[in-house]
Structure 1
Amino acid sequence: MKTDTEIETAIAQLAQGDRSALRPLWKALAPQVLGICTAILQDDLAARAALEQVFIKIWHNADGLAQSGYPPRVWVCTIARNHALDLIRAAQAEGVPEPEPRKDVAWPEGRIGDALALLPTGHGQLIARAYAYGEGYGTLAQRMGRMPDLMPMLLRKSLSALREALTT
């Protein structure tokens, strides 16, 4: 899927509820969208999270392409640009607080605790705070000095590292 016509067709299929059209659209446009988000956000983790959010917006607003009158690539890139800028504005409006001084949480006992201790700095604490102590995205984001939108991706990355630590 390289031509605007193919991309437009895939977006039209999405608008009609065909979720299978999302995969070829992702393959065709994700590198470009990621490049836009990375250039604006200057943070790889934030850009990857924004990439997912942009494609969710494309999925939910696929019928907007026909109404926009723009070529499909321009429409998608505009969504990516605007989303990345919205994230920056939101972070500036919130003042993205410094993480508060905190005591480390106690590790769970046993195999999981041992695996959490082996994770890169911060990942074990993030998992323990989220799953053992029930802290939400907002609290975790404040502690880490990150935007709340990044927390689902960061937790997935941390859980993936935990899974790997448990299998070795």
Structure 2
Amino acid sequence: MADDATLHRLLSGIARGEANRLAELYDLTSPKLYGLILRIQRDRGLAEDVLQDVYMRIWQAAGSYKPEAGPPLPWLCTVARNRAIDSVRRKVEHQGPELDTGEDWVARLIDPHDGAADFMDRNALLACLGRLDPKYRDCVVLAYCEGQSREDLARHFDRPVNTIKTWLHRSLAGLKSCLEAVS
């Protein structure tokens, strides 16, 4: 993976319309972004389409990246995550939600073969997720890894939307505190 200076240089070139810089950025970052997208959009074909959409968005929005706001990789990951979530939401609108698949969400979130999760300490994340009540943990994973809306979660957990918002807010605050403590 390229360092921040390289990614910043490439984004600057893309902002100036240098197509070869986009190709370089793709070569350096596409495995990580594809892994991230695939965790959210589990259909490989759709994930590949989302990945192409992500690089089109990067081509269009590279000028909006501001180095003082943070390193380039989290910005790229945010673009990929948002596009993947949008893709899942479009699919849900057409086919309906697939919330109860019986899948172990934590295991999928912390897949040891997923190179896109290298930036996270899997053991710390697993430990902190394990401290959450299972329904809160599932709610967080469904929302932030699967792109489920609060309304979908409210139906799934048979709770009001405001309760879901509270669960997510408290769970994320707890995860943040826990991860900061182990870092």
TM-score (norm 1): 0.54
Tell me which structure has the larger Cα radius of gyration: 1
Letter in 1 for 2:19: R
Deviation at 1:60, TM superposition (A): 0.5
Please state if 1:76 is matched with 2:76.
yes
Deviation at 1:92, TM superposition (A): 1.4
Q: Deviations over 1:94-135 (max 9, x none)?
A: 336xxxxxxxxxxxxxxxxxxxxxxxxxxxxxxxxxxxxxxx
Deviation at 1:28, TM superposition (A): 0.7
Query: How many Å separate the matches in 2 of 1:63 and 1:90?
Result: 27
Q: Which residue of 2 aligns with 1:147?
A: none
Q: Which residue of 1 aligns with 2:85?
A: 85
Deviation at 1:68, TM superposition (A): 7.5
Q: Which residue of 1 aligns with 2:53?
A: 53
Deviation at 1:87, TM superposition (A): 0.7
Q: Percent identical across equivalent pairs?
A: 28
SS at match of 1:94: helix
RMSD across aligned C-alpha pairs, in angstroms?
Answer: 1.7
| Contact 2:8–2:67 (Cα < 8 Å) also in 1 | no
Query: How many Å separate the matches in 2 of 1:30 and 1:68?
Result: 24
Deviation at 1:71, TM superposition (A): 1.0
SS at match of 2:62: coil
Where in structure 2 are the equivalents of 1:135-150 lying within 5 Å?
A: none
Query: How many Å separate the matches in 2 of 1:30 and 1:62?
Result: 16
Unaligned runs of at least 5 residues, structure 1: 97-168
Letter in 1 for 2:10: A
Deviation at 1:61, TM superposition (A): 0.4
Change (3 A) 1:45 1:68: farther
Change (3 A) 1:55 1:45: same
Query: How many Å separate the matches in 2 of 1:67 and 1:21?
Result: 17
Letter in 1 for 2:36: I
Please state if 1:64 is matched with 2:64.
yes
